[in-house]
Structure 1
Amino acid sequence: MNEHATLNASVFSQLRQDILTGRLRPGERLRAETLRQRYDVGGSPVREALMRLETEGFVVLEENKGFRVADASVAHLQDLSRTRIEIEALALKWSIAKGGVDWESSIVASMHRLASVPKHLDAAGHEHNADWLRYHREFHAALVAACDSAVLLGIRNRLFDQAERYVALSITAGGEVRDDVAEHQALMEAVLSRDTELALALNRRHLERTTKKLLAALEAGANL
């Protein structure tokens, strides 16, 4: 990869991460000059990053107004969650059918990492642990890694990113207290025992509980 391509990839990654983590808020205007100063780059990498993010659904281009961060809404979250549950179920089903010993080992290792760190950095639960978020992503990716479909995984990963943006935006939301380790442990055990029906049911329940919390935050007028 040449220097120009490396710079473009870096700006894209930084801008994407700022949107996913909520540092750039839903509806916020994305002015090229401001972004150039933010990432200390020229205009070309910023324009390319914005266009790529538009295709991923994280950025919206409005005529005569320019780019802005895509909105967060109850309707979008509901649509996203329904679709994600079905796609995750298909990818998980195929992985259970096709996965081998290496796949099983990666799931066990990712579960160990996930259980090794706290979800929040503060007692009030207002600040997510970046390591937990990364290990959480890796665990769920490991579950479906053996599905043997690059197309399906591409769709699945895009939906996961969209959902994670809502999670990051709702870190101060209340709701039920969950035993995250136990939920993921039970899901892992069902997958490794090749109990497809139970694994799919646990995965659906896991995603639906998260969605319920996020919807409650949105409907309560959380500052998203």
Structure 2
Amino acid sequence: MVKNDIAPGGTLVGRLRDDILAGRLAPGLKLQMTFLMQRYEAGQTPLREALNRLTSEGLVESRVQRGFYVSSVYPGELRELTKTRSWLEAIALRESMLHATPEWEEALVLAHHRLTRTPRSLAPDTFEDNPEWERHHRDFHNVLLSGCGSRPLQEFCVQLSDRLYRYRMLSIRKVFTTRHVRDEHSEILRLVLNGDITGATDALSHHYERTAEAVLKDMEALDASV
């Protein structure tokens, strides 16, 4: 299965990616080499290699004679990324369902079970990100696509998921008490297990569109980050 490499404590590029995706390195921030060397206890050469890697992923911008910056966030990019992710994941989910096996369905049910048993926030009334929930959330979405038979397609979907994670984190503190994400996941699972390909792919696309709409409504957060 293709997995998102955003767990802290991994490789240098993984740690940088994690900090960008989680917003600890804010959109538009200049990535000064002295700051990075102190923060990550690494030399200039491996840091430049890591930044170049993240530039190719769209998470870092390299500006001529100005250095590296965390890529900014834009409403237009959010819409385009969401649309592209919906297209590609609809293809991957359709192929997974067409080639469904009992093992794939069991893995999906198990991933959903783990997700639903894990609280989204570590605090009941205010948002405190729960890394365990994020891990199970990624696993559930990865398993959905894991039977598509195309590793490159899965990898493209993971890259889009990573880039959209930054946007999702911009508004999560305001919407987590009102957004019924658990119900959306359960509906996707139900449609998949019932073999309803059109219903399942539509539900998955609507799931992502609702996230985009929630972020776009929170224009104050977007404006503060650009």
- Give the TM-score of the pair, scaled to structure 1: 0.91
Residue of structure 1 equivalent to 2:205: 204
Q: Secondary structure of 1:67's match? A: strand
Residue of structure 2 equivalent to 1:28: 29
Distance 1:175 1:133, change over 3 A: closer
Separation in 2, partners of 1:37, 1:175 = 34
Q: Does 1:81 align with 2:73?
A: no
Q: Secondary structure of 1:170's match? A: helix
Q: Does 1:58 align with 2:59?
A: yes
Matches within 5 A, 1:118-197: 118-174=119-175, 177-197=178-198
Contact 1:21/1:169 (CA < 8 Å) preserved in 2? no
Contact 1:73/1:218 (CA < 8 Å) preserved in 2? no
Q: How far does residue 179 in structure 1 lie from its aligned partner after superposition?
A: 2.3
- For structure 1, the 5+ residue unaligned runs are 1-8
Residue of structure 2 equivalent to 1:5: none
Q: Secondary structure of 2:158's match? A: helix
User: Letter of the aligned partner of 1:201 in structure 2?
Assistant: D
Q: How far does residue 144 in structure 1 lie from its aligned partner after superposition?
A: 0.6
Distance 1:63 1:24, change over 3 A: same
Separation in 1, partners of 2:221, 2:102 = 45
Separation in 1, partners of 2:51, 2:182 = 37
Residue of structure 1 equivalent to 2:3: none
Separation in 1, partners of 2:221, 2:35 = 32
- Give the TM-score of the pair, scaled to structure 2: 0.90
Greater mean deviation of Cα atoms: 208-217 or 122-131: 122-131
Please list the CA deviations of residues 13-37 of structure 1 after superposition, one character each: whole Å capped at 9, or x if unmatched. 1101000100000000111221111
Contact 2:115/2:140 (CA < 8 Å) preserved in 1? yes
User: Letter of the aligned partner of 2:61 in structure 1?
Assistant: V
User: Letter of the aligned partner of 1:137 in structure 2?
Assistant: R
User: Letter of the aligned partner of 1:204 in structure 2?
Assistant: S
Contact 2:171/2:221 (CA < 8 Å) preserved in 1? no
Distance 1:157 1:179, change over 3 A: same
Residue of structure 1 equivalent to 2:5: none
Percent identity between the two aligned chains? 37
Q: What RMSD over aligned residues (CA atoms) do the two structures have, in Å?
A: 1.7
Contact 1:170/1:222 (CA < 8 Å) preserved in 2? no
Give the number of equivalent residue pairs: 216
Separation in 2, partners of 1:123, 1:66 = 42
